[in-house]
Amino acid sequence: MIDFTLSKKQQELKEGISGLAKYVIRPMSLEMDRKHEVPETFLRNFMQMASGFRGSAGHFGSDASEEERPRDPTRVSETNRTAAIGAEELAWADAALLLCLPGPGLGAPPVRATGTTEQKKRFFGMFADMDKGPLKWGAYGLTEPGAGSDVAGIRTSCRKEGDHWVLNGRKCYITNGGRAIWTVIFATVDPAQGRAGHRAFVVEKGTPGFEVGKIEEKMGLRANETAELVLEDCKVPAENLLGGEEAYQTKEGFMTAMKTFDNTRPLVGAMAVGIGRAAYEYARDFVKANYLIGRPIPRYAAIAERLARAGRRLEAARMLVWRATTMADLGQPNAKEASMAKAAAGQAAIAACIDAIEICGAHGSLATEHALLEKWFRDIKVYDIFEGTGNIQRVVISKRLMPSLKGF
Ligand SMILES: Cc1cc2nc3c(=O)[nH]c(=O)nc-3n(C[C@H](O)[C@H](O)[C@H](O)COP(=O)(O)OP(=O)(O)OC[C@H]3O[C@@H](n4cnc5c(N)ncnc54)[C@H](O)[C@@H]3O)c2cc1C
């Protein structure tokens, strides 16, 4: 049975972030969106403040110490669920800012899942001195033009030459790709082998042949960078092949991308719940302030029913997120539950944003400096696209519910 009671540490984290979210981040949100950036001073202060709970929010921040600590089998980990709690609170304030937080970010789960002890120490260790030196980011490079949902179809090639590998190809839509000090790049030794041909490399910024292409202009999450990456005869040292060659003798190694999703999808779901909750609460407060006096009751009843439905769906999505993250913390296989959490959260949050705009009438569609609804509406759509689209989550779920059925 899964216990949804928050631990003392989780409760403190939730309260700490929620104060910051309300009084500091939310007031900056529209300006960051307009300027397409999060102020570096804010990020630096946040990282210093967050160092107290860095271990628990490790997915988003530097987590070097956590990686090196021997795992205590008697201690039940809370890392994933705690990160989900923090992610929801931060996304409530500003989802783009959350994606901008320094640290290995989406690059962390594949290194954690497949990296050798030496690689974890080396790559996570690069983030250890951020409080003194420059801010640093990691990134995750899987998607290519023509291979997004179809992960098996990646074409970026890799071939071994002596003590290094040579990579050629293009990656697109990579979160923090332009500023990352290293990116986990997925490539193939032979496209005909599908996933069995995949290899994952940590490619460091400045490696000859590794360039940043265009930075995308996006509908939402504008304060966060999404970049194209180009690899042209890029020589990557053999010791940067994640897990070493032995890792690819078994199914485990080439399942790195999939194992990553089992950890990240619920967190993306948590962020979606945060944005949806922001819109839902905004509409609820708008109704309280404007609709209760002098409005016809039938109209209010319909609006109240709509708000109740939005709240119910968001809470159900949060439970799915907490279930999937708790399973990850317990080391249980959670691919189906991770997809359920992400699919439900994306849809619940998109519906909540649409409901909120409609409930607020013309006010809901304003794009003035006070109108966050418009921003949340632009931000939320991608939560049903990245880390696997809603359709792909449904494919994953149905394959696990009906394993004997072919043809999905
Ligand atoms: C803001 C942003 C940030 C991103 N960050 C990263 C990142 O850091 N790293 C990274 O590697 N990628 C990243 N991505 C890429 C993202 O993961 C892909 O866009 C996503 O996987 C979808 O791939 P696609 O865009 O190629 O769409 P497609 O795969 O071409 O899908 C198009 C449509 O077809 C549907 N479809 C496809 N296959 C099926 C199927 N089998 N069954 C039913 N329907 C199907 C999809 O649901 C979708 O509706 C990011 C994208 C965005 C927008």
Indicate if ligand 1 lies below 6 Å from the C-beta of 154.
no
Give the pLDDT of the chain (408 residues) as one tens digit per residue: 778 899 999 999 999 999 999 999 999 999 999 999 999 999 999 888 876 554 434 444 334 334 434 344 445 688 899 999 999 999 999 999 999 999 999 999 999 989 999 999 999 999 998 878 899 999 999 999 999 999 999 999 999 999 999 999 999 999 999 999 999 999 999 999 988 899 999 999 999 999 999 999 999 999 999 999 999 999 999 999 999 999 888 766 567 777 788 889 999 999 999 999 999 999 999 888 887 666 666 677 888 899 999 999 999 999 999 999 999 999 899 999 999 999 999 999 999 999 999 998 888 777 776 789 999 999 999 999 999 999 999 999 999 998 877 654
What pLDDT does 298 receive?
A: 63
What pLDDT does 253 receive?
A: 59
Q: Extract the tokens encoding 387.
A: 């880390």
**Across 12-121, where does the E strand assignment appear?**
none
**Reported pTM:** 0.92
* Catalytic residue set: 387
Nearest to 62 by CA among 165, 137, 1, 112: 137
Indicate if ligand 1 lies below 6 Å from the C-beta of 221.
yes
8 A C-beta contact, residue 166 and residue 187: no
* Ligand 1 nearest-atom number relative to CA 139: 8
What pLDDT does 295 receive?
A: 63
CA of 389 from ligand 1 middle (Å) equals 6
* Ligand 1 nearest-atom number relative to CA 389: 47
CA of 148 from ligand 1 middle (Å) equals 4
* Ligand 1 nearest-atom number relative to CA 218: 1
CA of 386 from ligand 1 middle (Å) equals 6
Pocket test for ligand 1, best of 101, 143, 170, 225 (most atoms within 8 A of CB): 143
What pLDDT does 60 receive?
A: 44
Indicate if ligand 1 lies below 6 Å from the C-beta of 175.
yes
Q: What type of residue is 388?
A: G
8 A C-beta contact, residue 248 and residue 254: yes
What pLDDT does 108 receive?
A: 93
Q: What type of residue is 277?
A: R
